Amino acid sequence: MPPLTSFPPGGSAVVVGASGGIGGALVDLLLQDPSFTTIYAASRVPPTLRQTGHLRHLQIDITDESSIAAAVVQVSDPVRLVIVATGALYGGAIGQPEKTYRALDGAALLESYRINTVGPALMAKHMLPRLASRGRSVFAALSARVGSISDNRAGGWHSYRAAKAALNMLLRNLAIEVSRRAPDTLCIGLHPGTVDTRLSQPFQRNVVAGKLFTPEQSAGYLLHVIDGLRPEDSGHVFAWDGTRIEA
């Protein structure tokens, strides 16, 4: 994809969840972009990525605030772009997406919030102060269309929907607060579409032809969306094609 043109040159970019499919693809594309002098790939385990002189790995667990704090102090200023590319729909303590309220489980709900909402919120707490206060900066987190309350026609997937809706509200709050200090800083949510990763594999059967993206496709779309957003777009959620998703 062509280089990003909306960021002042010479800043750093941070991708959280770099060992995942979308996160790894984002890092790979950003490494090719001359806008950024250093790319930080943050994950629990080092990602399998093309090594270059301006790639740094940060050991991080988004559910552990002490690990976030320890990682953030290693990031050099100015930080121009942070993308939190983490999330979980099923597995582990979350279990399977609920098809009915009868399947609701308190521990699963809390785990979904811990990963999908609390983790990105803690990243914002520690990364927003590191963003450049002058000139364009962006804090973005992967959300999902199913987190839209007004767009919900199917129901189900209670914990995931609720956790992403809560994330969207947090991003809106962050955008309002940050705008008072740094009016050119955006806080946004991004819906990557249905991407051929582990998260979507059990649910790919009903995807419309041509709408199952590779991680590389989705990452390219998302960076293109970020590049085209304006300050007034801060606090909203945008799909891979640039359309705004209503709350």
Confidence of residue 7 (pLDDT cuts 50, 70, 90): very high
pLDDT in tens, 202-237: 665 666 666 789 999 999 999 999 999 999 999 999
Cα angle 165, 227, 38 (rounded to 5 degrees) comes to 100
Average pLDDT estimate for 131-146: 95
Q: What integer best gives the mean pLDDT of the chain?
A: 92
Domain spans of the chain?
11-245
* Rounded percentage of the chain residues whose pLDDT exceeds 90: 82
202 backbone φψ class: left, alpha, beta (φ>0; ψ -120 to 50): alpha
The CATH class given to the 11-245 domain equals: alpha beta
pLDDT at 76 over 90: no
Contacts of 127 (CB under 8 A, 6+ apart): 14, 72, 75, 79, 82, 139
Model confidence, pTM: 0.94
Query: What is the per-residue pLDDT for 247?
Result: 83
Residue 172: how many other CB atoms lie within 10 Å: 18
Instruction: Classify residue 56 by burial, with Cβ atoms within 10 Å: 0-12, 13-18, 19+.
Output: middle
Helix ranges restricted to H, 49-130: 65-72, 106-113, 119-127
Can you give the pLDDT at residue 2? Answer: 83
Task: Name the band, by pLDDT with cuts 50, 70 and 90, for residue 27.
Answer: very high
